[in-house]
Structure formats: C-alpha cells, structure tokens
C-alpha cells in the first residue's frame, strides 16, 4: 500500500505529535482530571500538606491570591525540608507560571516593543482576582462589548497594559510598532530565561520520590468544576510544553528578523491585509541564520521537551491501577496503554533524531527522520524560493468597504527545500507517493485522547459557558 505525503503520512505524523503534546499540556491548563465525585482530596492529602507554609499557600489560592501562595511556596522550598521540598517546588513552579505575564522580562517587552502604555499592570489583579478576566469569564461575560452590555475588555480597561482602542484589531495593535523583530526576539530570550526557572522547579518536584501531587483549589479558576491535583505526569507534560516553547524562541531568534509588526500587519490603503502580510513577510522569513549558537540552545530545549513528554507517558502508564482516579489529572486508567507505549516510542525516536537519522517506529515501512539538520549551522530558505502563494481571492470593494479576501499556503518548493530535503530517508517529496503508512489510525488516536482527557473540555466549557472563551 502507499500514501500521499501531503495528505496522509506527514499529516498523521504531525497530528499525532501535536495532539499528544497539546492534549497533555491543555489538560493541565484547563483543569481536567478525575471526576468531581472521585477526587476526595481530604482523605488522600499528602503528608506535605501538614506543613504550615504549604497549608497557608493553599489558603492563599482559595482567596485568589497567587502572589501570596507563591511567597509561601518559595519560603517552604527554602527550608530544605525533604518531606515538603517536592510540593513546595511544584507550587512555586506553577504559581511562577501563572504569574509569568507579570515578570520584568515580559513587562519590558510589552512596553518597549509592543506599545504597552501601562507598564505597572498587576497580573494577579488582571487575571486571577475577583474582578479579573477569569472571574468575568466564569460569569458568562464575553470579551467584546455586546450592545448595551459591557464586555470584559471594557470592564477591566484600566488594568490592561494597552489602551482599549489598541485592541480593536491586529492592524490597530501593530500600527506604529516599528522596532525590528530582532529586538522582539532579544526580549523573548529574557522571557525564555524565566521559563527555564519554572522548568527547574518542576524538575525538583518530578525528581522527588516523596512528592505525590500539588492540589489547586477550584477557587483559583473561579469555577467549582475545575479543582485539580497535579501529579508527576502532569508536571512532566507542562515541563515538556514549556521546553518546546523555549526551544521555539531560541530557534526563531537564531535567524535575522528584520520585519516589523507595523510593516507586515498594517497594509497601505487599498491593499488587502492577508496579501500584504504574506508578501511583506515572505522575503524576511528564515532567510539567514545570524546566531547559530541559538540553534544549539534550541536543540537542547527541544531535547528536554521530548524527554519530559516521554516521561509524562511513562509515569502515566506505569501508575498502579486505582491511583489515577484520586490523584491524577491525566486519565491514564482509561486509555489504551498499548497505544500509549507506541506513542512513547515515537516520541523517543523524535528525540533521537535531534542527533541524527532515527528510525520512526509503528509505520508500515521503515524510514528515518533526521532533525539535526535544523540545528548546528541551521538551514535557510533560498532567496529565489517563495514561502507563500495565494490559492484564491475575492476582489473589489463593496458597499461595506470590504477590500476582498485571499487564502494563502506554503509553496511546494518551500516545503521541499526547508522541511523535507535531507530530513527523510527514503527521501520524501511533496505531491509524491510515500510508501510508509502509520499503524495507528486517526480514529484510534482521537479515542485515545478523548479517554485521556476525560470530561475536561466539557467541564471547562461549563465553567466559562457564555463567555466565548471556549466555543
């Protein structure tokens, strides 16, 4: 049998990987977990919760005081108590994650490169307080105004980093932002350092044999259905997501980024926005590697991401029967564990491919992937190859002033040169038949994640129903 590279093998491969990563990380972010009736936190409370500082941190969380909880967890971690260390480190890592938007690295980027006028915004008040974003979403209030009803954006306008009118559209946001992308990347590199601090705290918890789980009360998210207990599998999944994010920052910062947000997002009069964006960005995207050392940092971060993604799966499938219902958010007790092992094999192979050609298992025929070609000295798209081409468009200006719309895609030549050449063996070519087919069909994969995440999405939708946050 054979398959089409564009429609089957490549699509399945990335779909499987992204579903695995996104599913694990979004589970942590959205508060999925054991059924409310089975999560008896009082009867299964870890011994670490007998510590006064850990208890005070939880009390702070019930009052939506993330900063206070962060302070208590930090103090508990500094005490070097072996019975508390893992829980304190997990708590510090999670609260640091919740407050990342308030770090100096983020404030500096927002004010210097992204046009923020209120550098003194309070991230706790803005997101987590009784008058913050999550509170209003839990009340069913939408982001935008709706007739006479104020939306969240208007209600919290005095707390936002930007003036309200700057958030009207991408064009309004980008207008006047003329610093080059290289400056934005330099700021993002500082954010990446703060992300690495969070990862280190998560590592302390994951490596601690005494650590069981970190409990986050439902009050944190202003929703009774979203209480959660984060165990080692969940922390590993979050770590993986953060490592991949950090790796993406390093990878992007390795290239020359001479574009500006104003230049690519603010079309001149009479030009359609999508056409202007793609045509403006095309000659400036991944054309020259200017800091190859950042590619090596990216590889290290991606390797960490694959390691902790594999670890999340391993911890899940090795959990003893009956434990998952009370302590774990990822419902490993419900999944096809043979499939989980197959996915773990693929993740491990992808990690190995960062060093050179690695055989990808669970396909009908053998093939290898070599992701190392993206690192080292890196690769850039040739100047004579376009990134984007327009597939269709509607033109003309109607009575409503609409300039028309267009749809765009990555060109076959760019896909071939940047993503495929030298990566696959046997070589893979766009629009050619490729023999290898996945042993895992998409229906089985979707069932796996439905079982893994349980009723998480449904309960999150219920928690923020009417807000449009999750439709």
Quick one: pLDDT at residue 470? 74
Tell me which residue range forms the domain holding 441.
3-47+180-463
Please state, in angstroms and rounded to a whole number, the distance separating the CA atoms of residues 102 and 104: 7
- Long-range pairs of 266-269 with CB within 8 A, sequence gap ≥ 24: 266/171, 266/174, 266/175, 267/171
Sign, CA torsion 167/189/230/313: positive
* Per-residue pLDDT at 325: 44
Do 346 and 359 contact (CB within 8 A), yes or no? no
Query: How many Å apart are CA 362 and CA 365, to the nearest integer?
Result: 8
One domain, residues 301 and 431:
yes
CB atoms within 10 A of CB 74: 18
- The C-alpha angle with vertex 140 and arms to 91 and 136, in degrees rounded to 5, equals 50
Contact of 232 with 174, CB cutoff 8 Å = no
Whether 436 is in a domain gets the answer yes
What pLDDT does residue 47 have?
84
Number of domains in the chain: 2
In this structure, the answer to whether residues 345 and 379 fall within a common structural domain is: yes
432 and 396 assigned to the same domain: yes
CB atoms within 10 A of CB 457: 15
Question: Of 133, 152, 174, which marks where a domain is finished?
Answer: 174
For residues 342 and 448, membership in a common domain is answered with yes
Distance CA 3, CA 197 (A): 44
Cα–Cα dist 413/423, whole Å:
15
Is position 64 within any domain? no
Question: What pLDDT does 322 receive?
Answer: 56
The whole-angstrom separation of Cα 306 and Cα 353 is: 11
User: What phi and psi, each to the nearest 5 degrees, are found at residue 117?
Assistant: -105, -15
Q: What is the C-alpha radius of gyration for the chain, rounded to an integer number of angstroms?
A: 24
Is there a domain that residue 299 lies in?
A: yes
Between CA 64 and CA 453 the distance in angstroms is 25
Low-confidence ranges of the chain (pLDDT < 50): 1-9, 12-40, 42, 325-327, 397-401
**Non-local CB neighbours of 59 within 8 Å, separated by 6+ positions:** none
Residue 42 token pair: 């009082």
113 assigned to some structural domain: no
Work out whether strand 424-425 and strand 214-216 pair parallel, antiparallel, or are unpaired. unpaired
Residue where a domain stops, chosen among 133, 150, 174:
174
- What's the pLDDT at 324? 54
Domain boundary among 174, 189, 220: 174
Whole-angstrom distance, CA of residue 7 vs CA of residue 216: 42
Q: What is the per-residue pLDDT for 392?
A: 77
Cβ–Cβ contacts within 10 Å for residue 175, how many?
A: 15
Predicted pLDDT of residue 3: 42
Q: How far apart are CA 21 and CA 242, in angstroms?
A: 11
Whether residue 216 sits in one domain with residue 247: yes
Are 18 and 151 found together in one domain? Answer: no
């Amino acid at each position: 049998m054979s398959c089409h590279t564009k429609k089957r093998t490549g699509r399945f491969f990335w779909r499987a990987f992204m579903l695995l990563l996104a599913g694990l990380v979004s589970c942590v972010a959205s508060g999925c977990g054991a059924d409310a009736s089975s999560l008896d936190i009082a009867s299964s409370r870890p011994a670490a919760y007998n510590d006064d500082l850990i208890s005070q941190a939880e009390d702070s969380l019930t009052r939506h005081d993330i900063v206070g909880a962060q302070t208590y967890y930090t103090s508990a971690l500094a005490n070097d108590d072996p019975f508390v260390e893992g829980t304190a480190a997990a708590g510090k890592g999670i609260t640091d994650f919740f407050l990342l938007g308030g770090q100096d690295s983020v404030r500096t980027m927002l004010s210097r490169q992204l046009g923020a006028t209120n550098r003194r915004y309070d991230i706790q008040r803005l997101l987590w307080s009784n008058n913050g974003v999550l509170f209003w979403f839990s009340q069913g209030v939408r982001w935008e105004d709706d007739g006479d009803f104020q939306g969240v954006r208007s209600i919290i306008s005095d707390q936002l980093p930007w003036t309200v009118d700057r958030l009207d559209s991408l064009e309004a946001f980008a207008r006047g932002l003329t610093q080059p992308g290289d400056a934005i990347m330099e700021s993002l590199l500082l954010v990446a350092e703060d992300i690495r601090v969070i990862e280190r705290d998560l590592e302390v918890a994951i490596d601690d044999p005494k650590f069981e789980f970190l409990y986050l009360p439902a009050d944190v998210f202003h929703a009774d259905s979203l209480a959660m207990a984060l165990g080692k599998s969940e922390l590993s999944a979050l770590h993986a997501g953060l490592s991949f994010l950090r790796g993406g920052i390093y990878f992007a910062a390795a290239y020359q980024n001479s574009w500006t947000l104003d230049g690519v997002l603010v079309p001149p009069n009479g030009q359609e926005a999508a056409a202007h964006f793609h045509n403006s960005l095309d000659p400036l995207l991944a054309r020259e590697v200017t800091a190859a050392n950042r590619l090596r940092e990216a590889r290290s971060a991606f390797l960490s991401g694959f390691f902790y993604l594999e670890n999340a799966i391993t911890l899940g499938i090795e959990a003893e029967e009956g434990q998952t219902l009370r302590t774990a958010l990822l419902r490993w007790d419900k999944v096809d564990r043979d499939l989980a092992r197959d996915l773990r094999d693929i993740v491990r192979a992808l990690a190995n491919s960062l060093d050179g050609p690695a055989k990808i298992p669970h396909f009908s025929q053998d093939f290898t992937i070599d992701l190392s070609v993206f690192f080292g000295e890196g690769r850039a798209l040739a100047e004579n190859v376009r990134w984007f081409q327009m597939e269709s468009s509607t033109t003309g200006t109607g009575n409503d002033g609409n300039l028309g719309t267009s749809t765009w895609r990555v060109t076959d030549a760019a896909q071939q040169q940047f993503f495929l050449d030298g990566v696959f063996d046997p070589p893979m070519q766009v629009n050619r038949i490729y023999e290898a087919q996945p042993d895992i069909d998409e229906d089985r994969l979707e069932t796996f994640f439905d079982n893994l995440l349980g009723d998480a999405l449904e309960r999150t939708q219920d928690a923020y129903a009417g807000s449009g946050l999750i439709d």
